[in-house]
């Protein structure tokens, strides 16, 4: 047990909280269900955001910003969306506080400053955005609109977990408008593929792409596509969603366009989003009992260098050599930190950077200097080796690629080991209660069966995978006929 991290075996949930808190990613706050994202966690988010932002722009999207507040009358316009979010939204009712006449050092809500119409703090922005698009769209020439927004949203969840489920979270939400159904469907798929590529290539997180069942669909969508990842406790986590909204919001907000033949039609829509929840997924998928394990592609610090020295003279000599190494690494675009602080021992530093998941640690002492070598330690495999300083930057660059792949492969292997076919109800329950993970099983396609399975096992349909094969079978629960397997799991 390093740095007071609970082990996974002992208490997975506490292990996760320890990772987040002690790893310096986030902290609890004075506001129920809201967290503080600490600098190290925010640096991780910045790296993720920058990669995603570039991917969005490379696929033709631009950023914009819409109001935080949604007037109640707009919020309720799309009925299903409103119904889905009304139960958990923060509502602004007043615009002023005043001094409490009974206690001058206290403030109270000023009853004279009641809003004529309440404002909902956005839980998602379809309503405010489609109300705006109404003014922007008249003709097919105004389409498509391909806008993304980086923003905070609020969903008043009753049970919260750092990053995974917080009352306020940061996310991006794409909101696109199209002239045809086909184009909107293509956009929905395109952005799901962007998310999948991001998850696998940068977060080293293998994901299953598929479509949600009706029960799990976004409120107001015709279809919700998703990427689903598997955590180390065998539970699934929805890592991103892309919604085909049909003409639902265009109808709710009366957004029509005239096509090339001057015919009026409602506009087709998509929306898609990922959030700071991904940080929770990242931590939970790869880390170990010593702390975080971060993939090099998004790690805030990729390489940390720790000097091993006795006295000022040794440190000076080591630091001179390290300056050269740092320059070489930076020339390769590697994010490197040299920790020459003298208020902690090397062993303490080693544990600290293990806890923080820094992919590579270099340790260098006086003897290494003489031998022109450095000790290279991998965070993911906990292996160490002595490496020549000649060509060290290129060596590290290659190593970072190897580590990135290795973390992905480990997660992919885990997922393969924890994706099991079940053909009977007993098998299904046994798998869930023993190894967990994804259970691939036949389902009769009804919401009632899905609901019953959830009630009995807490497992939900994570998705109907895009690559599911046609296969005749019978629903594990109802025994009714089915023509493809879907993925069940207990989930975050």
Tell me which residues touch its own copies (CB under 8 A). 27, 29-31, 34-39, 41-43, 45-46, 62-72, 74-76, 79, 82, 86-99, 105-107, 109, 118-121, 128, 131-132, 135-136, 141, 147, 151-152, 154, 156, 168, 170, 343
DSSP string, 320-372: HHHHHHHHHHHHTT--EEE---SSS-HHHHHHHHHHTT-SEEEEEEHHHHHHT
Residues 290 and 6: beta-carbon distance below 8 Å: no
Which residue, 65 or 348, is less far from its own copies as judged by CB? Answer: 65
Which residue, 134 or 410, is less far from its own copies as judged by CB? Answer: 134
The single residue listed with the structure tokens 């003709």 is: 139
Could you tell me the smallest distance in angstroms from the CB atom of residue 202 to its own copies?
Answer: 19
Sequence-ordered list of residues with C-beta below 8 angstroms from that of 161, at least 6 positions apart, any chain? 16, 280, 492
Could you tell me the smallest distance in angstroms from the CB atom of residue 86 to its own copies?
Answer: 4
Which residue, 120 or 489, is less far from its own copies as judged by CB? Answer: 120
Sequence-ordered list of residues with C-beta below 8 angstroms from that of 256, at least 6 positions apart, any chain? 137, 250, 264, 265, 266, 267
Residues 272 and 174: beta-carbon distance below 8 Å: yes
Which residue, 88 or 448, is less far from its own copies as judged by CB? Answer: 88
Which residue, 191 or 207, is less far from its own copies as judged by CB? Answer: 191
Residues 484 and 471: beta-carbon distance below 8 Å: yes
CA 333 to chain centre: 25
Could you tell me the smallest distance in angstroms from the CB atom of residue 472 to its own copies?
Answer: 43
Could you tell me the smallest distance in angstroms from the CB atom of residue 195 to its own copies?
Answer: 22
CA-CA distance, 489 to 492, in Å (whole number)? Answer: 10
Which residue, 149 or 440, is less far from its own copies as judged by CB? Answer: 149
Which residue, 170 or 315, is less far from its own copies as judged by CB? Answer: 170
Which residue, 76 or 233, is less far from its own copies as judged by CB? Answer: 76
Could you tell me the smallest distance in angstroms from the CB atom of residue 115 to its own copies?
Answer: 9
Could you tell me the smallest distance in angstroms from the CB atom of residue 145 to its own copies?
Answer: 9
Could you tell me the smallest distance in angstroms from the CB atom of residue 250 to its own copies?
Answer: 16
Residues 32 and 177: beta-carbon distance below 8 Å: no
Residues 122 and 155: beta-carbon distance below 8 Å: no
Here the tokens at position 97 are 């506080």
Phi, psi of 18 (to 5 degrees): -60, -45
Could you tell me the smallest distance in angstroms from the CB atom of residue 113 to its own copies?
Answer: 8
Here the tokens at position 314 are 């040794």
The single residue listed with the structure tokens 């389902």 is: 443
């Amino acid at each position: 047990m390093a740095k007071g991290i609970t082990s996974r075996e002992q208490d997975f949930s506490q292990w996760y909280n320890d990772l987040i808190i002690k790893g310096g990613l986030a902290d609890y706050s004075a506001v129920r269900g809201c967290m503080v994202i600490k600098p190290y966690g925010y640096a991780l988010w910045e790296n993720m955001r920058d990669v995603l932002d570039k991917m969005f722009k490379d696929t033709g999207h631009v950023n914009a910003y819409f109001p935080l507040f949604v007037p109640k009358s707009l919020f309720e316009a799309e009925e299903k969306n409103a119904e889905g979010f009304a139960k958990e939204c923060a509502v602004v009712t007043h615009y002023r506080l005043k001094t409490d006449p009974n206690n001058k050092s206290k403030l109270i809500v000023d009853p004279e400053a009641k809003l004529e119409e309440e404002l909902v703090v956005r839980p998602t922005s379809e309503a405010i955005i489609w109300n705006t698009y109404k003014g922007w769209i008249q003709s097919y020439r105004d389409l498509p609109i391909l806008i993304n927004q980086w923003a905070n949203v609020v969903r008043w969840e009753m049970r919260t977990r750092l990053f995974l489920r917080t009352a306020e979270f940061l996310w991006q939400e794409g909101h696109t408008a199209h002239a045809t159904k086909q184009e909107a469907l293509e956009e929905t798929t395109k952005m799901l593929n962007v998310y999948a590529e991001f998850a696998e290539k940068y977060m080293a997180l293998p994901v299953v792409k598929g479509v949600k069942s009706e029960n799990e669909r976004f409120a107001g969508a015709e279809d919700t596509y998703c990427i689903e990842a598997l955590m180390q406790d065998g539970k699934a986590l929805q890592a991103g969603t892309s919604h085909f909204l049909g003409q639902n919001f265009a109808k709710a907000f009366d957004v029509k366009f005239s096509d090339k033949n001057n015919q009026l039609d409602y506009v087709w829509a998509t929306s898609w989003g990922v959030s700071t929840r991904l940080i929770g997924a990242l931590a939970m998928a790869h880390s170990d009992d010593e702390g975080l394990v971060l993939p090099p592609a998004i790690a805030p610090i990729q390489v940390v260098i720790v000097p091993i020295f006795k006295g000022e003279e040794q440190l000076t000599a080591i630091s001179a050599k390290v300056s050269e190494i740092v320059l070489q690494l930076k020339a390769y675009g590697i994010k490197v930190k040299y920790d020459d602080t003298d208020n902690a021992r090397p062993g303490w530093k080693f544990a600290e950077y293990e806890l923080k998941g820094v992919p590579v640690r270099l340790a260098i002492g006086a003897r290494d200097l003489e031998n022109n070598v450095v000790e290279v330690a991998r965070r993911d495999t906990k292996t160490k080796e002595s490496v020549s300083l000649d060509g060290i930057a290129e060596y590290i660059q290659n190593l970072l690629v190897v580590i990135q792949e290795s973390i992905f492969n480990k997660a992919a292997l885990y997922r393969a080991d924890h994706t099991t076919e079940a053909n009977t109800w007993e098998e299904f329950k046994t798998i869930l209660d023993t190894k967990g993970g994804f259970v691939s099983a036949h389902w009769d396609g009804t919401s009632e069966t899905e609901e019953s399975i959830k009630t009995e096992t807490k497992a939900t349909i994570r998705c109907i995978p895009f690559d599911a094969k046609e296969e005749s079978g019978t629903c594990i629960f109802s025994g009714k006929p089915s023509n493809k397997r879907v993925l069940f799991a207990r989930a975050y």
